[in-house]
């Protein structure tokens, strides 16, 4: 949830799942972040943000920025402070974060997760109060200000013991996978991303199906298509939209928007967790005119609808998609662990797509993992049963195309 997960509250409001890692070569990782991904140049103002648990890597990044000739500044937070902001700020005082003003003045933002246990931080936060923070940020025109700024960013994941425990993941294996994903072969990822981008950018319709029951058609409509190959290149730095000037580590995704009223069919999502850790299992919905209707689930349907209700009907509108490209990242569907950059992992998202150049500007959104998906664009298969397909060999003979 890197570029596509860019939400604004706090500095950028990423309540990412994170935690401490041990035995890592932080200096080596910092060199990759600063020199390869961010391309820090002498004299640049570099803002580094994160949580107390990420301090060793933050420190290594700041040192590497200085070695590159940049000017590092650090903003640190803790779970206790983040929870106090969420739960104890008087309602009348909720407003857009003034820390955003500092961020908008920087040349480079390098952001690590700001909280370790996001479920504990978010626990008990009412949907209405959560919406007030989002609405205050949206009212400040932060999306337009980000696009208009010179800022470029790198968002770095950090393995979390609390998250691994909650998901019942083996922490050692999960930690190793995160760092392996950070160090993936981004040259190969970039090549595949560019080939897929050409197909999607020229495409008219995207058809997504899955064994669980997803059968959805989206109108692409010539919208911008974004790639995250882990590097903000010199060309990327000149782009107008902020999402073209950002990268994630682990990276490896291609994503974009659809015509907001175009999605039609059925959506069946993989097991997931709502923001405060409540399970959302067996989720299904009909989709007509872009809107989710007839929402049901084995568990969590009511909580899901309560979370999005304060944002209005636009929050239930299919607005964008993503396809993961990183071969080092793996899903564990039975544990509801579905990293969006895992190779072949497909996500559909409702709600806000303004930073992607779309027309949906509600602050609310929700991302649905679609397990073992097949994705076609005008008859060319990009993903088959959750596995990436080479675009060169992906054309589907007319007699075998889906008639759904």
pLDDT digit string (tens) for the chain, length 404 residues: 333 333 333 333 322 333 334 447 899 999 999 999 999 999 999 999 999 999 999 999 999 999 999 999 999 999 999 999 999 999 999 998 888 899 999 999 999 999 999 889 988 999 999 999 989 988 898 888 999 999 999 999 999 898 899 889 999 999 999 999 998 999 899 999 999 999 999 999 999 999 999 999 999 988 999 999 999 999 999 999 898 999 999 999 999 999 999 999 999 999 999 877 889 999 999 999 999 999 999 999 999 999 999 999 999 999 999 999 999 999 998 899 999 999 999 999 999 998 898 999 999 999 999 999 999 999 999 999 999 997 544 444 433 333 33
Instruction: Select from 69, 54, 241, 66 the least CA-distant residue to 153.
Output: 241
For residues 1 and 146, membership in a common domain is answered with yes
User: Within a domain: residue 403?
Assistant: yes
Residues 193, 335, single domain; the answer is yes
CATH code at position 57: 3.40.1830.10
Range(s) of the domain holding residue 364: 185-226+251-404
Rounded-to-integer distance, Cα 185 and Cα 312, Å: 41
Domain assignment of residue 234, yes or no: no
Closest by CA position to 404, among listed 217, 210, 219: 217
Cis peptide before 28 (omega within 30 of 0): no
269 shares a domain with 178: no
Q: Would you say residue 236 lies in a domain?
A: no
Dmax of the chain from CA atoms?
Answer: 62
- In this structure, are 211 and 85 located in the same domain? no
Q: Are residues 206 and 261 in the same domain?
A: yes
* String of DSSP letters for 386-404: TEE--GGG-BPPGGGS---
Give a yes or no: residue 308 inside a domain. Answer: yes
| Residue pointed to by tokens 């931080």 | 121
241 domain-assigned = no
- Number of structural domains, the chain? 2
pTM above 0.95, yes or no: no
**Residue in 290, 291, 268, 272 with CA at minimum distance from that of residue 281:** 272
Cβ atoms of 319 and 349 closer than 8 Å: yes
For the chain, what percentages of helix, strand and coil (3-state, to nearest 5) are there?
Answer: 35, 25, 40
Contact 321, 142 (CB under 8 A): no
Q: Are residues 31 and 118 in the same domain?
A: yes
Residues 130 and 22 in one domain: yes
- Looking at the structure, tell me whether residues 43 and 165 fall in a common domain: yes
Asked, for residue 245, whether it belongs to a domain, the answer is no
Q: Among 183, 215, 235, which residue terminates a domain?
A: 183
Angle CA 172–177–182, to nearest 5 = 130
Q: 132 and 215 share a domain?
A: no
Do 175 and 203 lie in a common domain?
Answer: no
Instruction: Please check whether residues 157 and 278 belong to one and the same domain.
Output: no
User: In this structure, are 255 and 125 located in the same domain?
Assistant: no
């Amino acid at each position: 949830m890197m570029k596509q997960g860019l939400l604004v509250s706090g500095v950028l409001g990423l309540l990412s799942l994170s935690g401490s890692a041990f035995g890592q070569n932080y200096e080596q990782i910092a060199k990759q972040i600063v020199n390869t991904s961010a391309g820090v140049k002498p004299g640049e103002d570099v803002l580094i943000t994160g949580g107390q648990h990420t301090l060793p890597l933050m420190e290594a990044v700041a040192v590497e920025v200085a070695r590159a000739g940049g000017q590092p500044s650090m903003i640190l937070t803790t779970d206790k402070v983040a929870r106090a902001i969420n739960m104890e700020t008087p309602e009348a005082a909720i407003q857009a974060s003034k820390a955003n003003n500092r961020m908008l003045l920087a040349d480079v933002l390098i952001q690590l997760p700001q909280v370790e246990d996001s479920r504990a931080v978010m626990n008990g936060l009412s949907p209405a109060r959560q919406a007030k923070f989002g609405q205050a940020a949206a009212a400040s025109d932060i999306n337009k200000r980000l696009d208009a700024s010179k800022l470029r960013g790198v968002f770095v994941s950090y393995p979390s013991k609390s998250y691994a425990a909650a998901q019942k993941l083996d922490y050692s294996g999960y930690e190793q996978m995160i760092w392996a994903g950070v160090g993936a072969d981004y040259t190969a990822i970039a090549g595949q991303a560019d080939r897929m981008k050409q197909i999607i950018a020229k495409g008219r319709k995207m058809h997504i199906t899955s064994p669980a029951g997803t059968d959805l058609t989206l109108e692409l409509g010539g919208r911008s298509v974004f790639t995250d190959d882990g590097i903000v290149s010199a060309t990327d730095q000149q782009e107008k939209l902020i999402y073209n000037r950002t990268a994630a580590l682990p990276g490896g995704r291609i994503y974009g928007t659809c015509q907001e009223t175009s999605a039609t069919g059925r959506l069946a999502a993989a097991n997931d967790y709502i923001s405060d850790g409540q399970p959302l299992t067996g989720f299904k919905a009909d989709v007509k005119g872009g809107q989710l209707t007839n929402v049901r689930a084995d568990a969590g349907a009511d909580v899901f609808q309560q979370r999005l209700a304060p944002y209005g009907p636009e929050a239930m509108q299919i607005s964008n998609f993503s396809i993961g490209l990183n071969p080092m990242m793996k899903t564990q569907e039975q544990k509801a662990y579905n990293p969006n950059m895992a190779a072949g992992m497909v996500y559909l998202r409702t709600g806000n797509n303004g930073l992607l150049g779309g027309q949906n500007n509600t602050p609310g959104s929700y991302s649905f993992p679609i397990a073992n998906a097949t994705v076609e664009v005008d008859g060319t298969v990009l993903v088959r049963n959750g596995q990436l397909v080479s675009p060169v060999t992906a054309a589907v003979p007319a007699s075998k195309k889906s008639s759904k």
